[in-house]
Each structure stands twice: as C-alpha cells, then as structure tokens.
Structure 1
Amino acid sequence: MSVKYKFRDQEKLYFISFAVVNWIDLFIRNDYKDIMLNSWKYCQTHKGFEIYGWCIMTSHVHMIIGSNGAKLEDIMRDMKKHTSIALKAAIQNHPGESRREWMLWMMERAGRKNSQNINFQLWQQDNHPIEIYDFRILHQKLDYIHNNPVVAGIVDKPQDYLYSSARDYYGLPGMVDIILVDPLVA
C-alpha cells in the first residue's frame, strides 16, 4: 500500500477526492447525491466530521475535511462503506434508472477483480488525502472544488451549482453545514 497518501496528522485539514469505479456517472440523479449528504450529516453529528468545502460531480467527489472526533481514515472508511450499500440499494430500487443493469454489472465486475471486496465495489479504493499546510493551499483547493462544475460546463458560476459548498461561500443557503474559512488576504 502506498505511504504517500495517508491521513498523518488528525489535527490538520485534508483535501480528498474519491470516485465511483470506472468513473461511472452515478451522480446524475439528485436522489443519489442526497444519500451522500445524509451520510455526511450523520458523520458530522456522530463522528466529529468537519467539512470546509465540497462538491459532488457526476462521477466523483471533492472535499476539504477535518475531524474533532473519530480518525479521518475511520470516518472515510465508514462513510464509503455505508454509502456503497445505500447507493447500491438506491440503484436497484430507483423506478426510472435505465442504466441499472449496466451500472450494477460494472460494480460487480470491479468487486470481483478486487481482493478487498466481495462481489461488489462502488467506490475506487483510495481517497488521496492531501494535507493542507497553509491558507494559500486551502484557498487554492477551495477554488478548484468550487470551479469544477464551471469547468465541466454544468453551470456558469460556482454559486449556481446546488451540490457544492460554493453556495455557502457566496452567502447562499447550502445543503450541508460547513465550516467557512476566512478569505485569503494577500
């Protein structure tokens, strides 16, 4: 296992990215994105999960996170395990999911190929945590997260994307509680 990407210091903030296997565009349905939000809210209430920035794209998630409770690697492991089960059930039960068989087949195929899973894998194995060691890096990562939907052509302005903390930073109501960081003063 790589030693480059680890949560080394639990007192620090981290930029993380995690993706659906094979970069499947799972999160084109709000129902699926809401499963992620509900999981984060649970982790915030019960595990000390801190969110400073986030964005759910169609096939992946970017976040800036910290913890005042459980270890970050434990929070991420539990959250990914829970959402994998919940999202699989949502795919199976969604009445309008035309891609159901294909997505489940791809996830089952990925699970069979990975010795750490049993017949099913929704998330790619890693989170690639990158420690945030100063405010410039923090703001660079926040800008990157918030501009993802703009670069992808989903919206014209970051604050227009509902499933992102950009809304909070522009003074609009967000979908999950976050900890706002101070503006960067040059």
Structure 2
Amino acid sequence: MSRNYKFHNPEGLYFISFAVVGWLDVFTRNEYKDLVLESIEFCQKYKGMEIHAWCIMTNHVHLIFRSIENQKPELLLGDFKRFTSRSIIKAIQDNPRESRKVFMLDFFKKEAAKSSNTTNFQFWRHDNKPIELWSSAVIQQKIDYIHNNPVAEGIVFRPEDYKYSSASDYAGEKGMLDGVCVFQYFKL
C-alpha cells in the first residue's frame, strides 16, 4: 500500500484524483476509458464503492466516492488501480491500432524500474491526494470542479455534453454509469 494514501475516516466521502505516470494522454482512446468504467461498475456491484461524481480525462481520473461495505477506502482504491493498470496495459499491448504502443509500454516499464513496489509496468502515479468532504458546500464545489474539467480543457462547451463523466446525471439525463448517487445541494 502506498504511503500516499491518507484516508483517515473509513466511512467518509472522498474526492480523489489520480493520474497516469508522466501525465501521458492514454485516455484519448475510448476503449481505455471504457475499461476504467467497467472497473468502476465492478467496484460498485461487488466491492461497495458508492459513486457520487466521476470524470475520465485524457490522462487522469476524478472520483467522489465512499466505501459502504466495511472495506477501507485505500484498499478499495488500491484494488481498483491495480486492476485497471493491468487491464489497460494489456489492452495497449493487444491493440493493433495503437500507434503509441512502443513508446507507452517503454515509458511504463521505465517508471516501474524507478519504483520499489512495482514490477514490469507502472501505469498510475502513486499519489491520490484524497480529500474528505465534510460539508455540502465543499461537496458541491468538488462536483462542479470535476464536471467543469472537460469544459476548462476545451473538450466541450457544457459539462453534460462530455460523455465520460457524471455531469449528464446531474443534468437530469442518463449517464454512462449506472447507480451514480446524485448529490442534491440546497442553498439557504
């Protein structure tokens, strides 16, 4: 387990961001983003990951989640990152259309050689910077940040137009991921 995982409250709601090593733009291909989504769905169904907001960008992922089945959040996230790392590396290796294959695999191999707790390939950076969300205002601020990420990057004009995020769920439309717990914030 990485020393950078700092989840102090096992039942807390957390905002996390985690990036591909070197901030490589791996998620320019939808098939790699789909693998992340499949893994989130698995964690929702079988590991007790409750998702409140999410977004997959070209080189990083944002989540607001809670562990609801007595699993420590750092272990849940560790399992998620290990599994997605392996499945995405395999998808890159097996993808005949991947023009960046040699470059990416060499980079991931070199990054693994720098780390004492990684063998073969390192896909994800070890840091997650979990932030426990303690108030409705902070929760809403992080949700807005997540959903506006694709707008800030110039990918879409409106958050709900970005397919690989929960923004459409928050706009009253059906998103790509089932079971998103839409947060309702009421200002007084």
Length-normalised TM-score, structure 1: 0.96
Determine if the alignment matches structure 1 residue 76 to structure 2 residue 83. no
Matched residue, 1:160: 161
Q: Which amino acid aligns with 1:167?
A: S
- Give the Cα–Cα distance (whole angstroms) in 1 for the partners of residues 90 and 3 of structure 2: 31
Matched residue, 1:180: 182
Unpaired runs of at least 5, structure 2: none
1:65 aligned counterpart, secondary structure: strand
Matched residue, 2:52: 52
Contact 1:136 1:184 in 2 (8 A): no
Matched residue, 1:94: 95
Q: Which amino acid aligns with 1:159?
A: E
Q: Which amino acid aligns with 2:93?
A: Q
**How much has 1:119 moved relative to structure 2?**
2.6
Q: After alignment, is 175-184 or 31-40 more displaced?
A: 175-184
Cα deviation 1:96-142 (Å, max 9, x = unaligned): 10000000011000000111111310000121100101000000000
Unpaired runs of at least 5, structure 1: none
Length-normalised TM-score, structure 2: 0.95
Hey, which bits of structure 1, 4+ residues long, moved more than 4 A?
Answer: none
Q: Which amino acid aligns with 2:51?
A: I
Q: Which amino acid aligns with 1:99?
A: R
**Root-mean-square deviation (CA), in Å?**
1.2
2:186 aligned counterpart, secondary structure: coil
Matched residue, 2:132: 131
Contact 1:139 1:184 in 2 (8 A): no
Matched residue, 2:40: 40
- Give the Cα–Cα distance (whole angstroms) in 1 for the partners of residues 39 and 186 of structure 2: 30
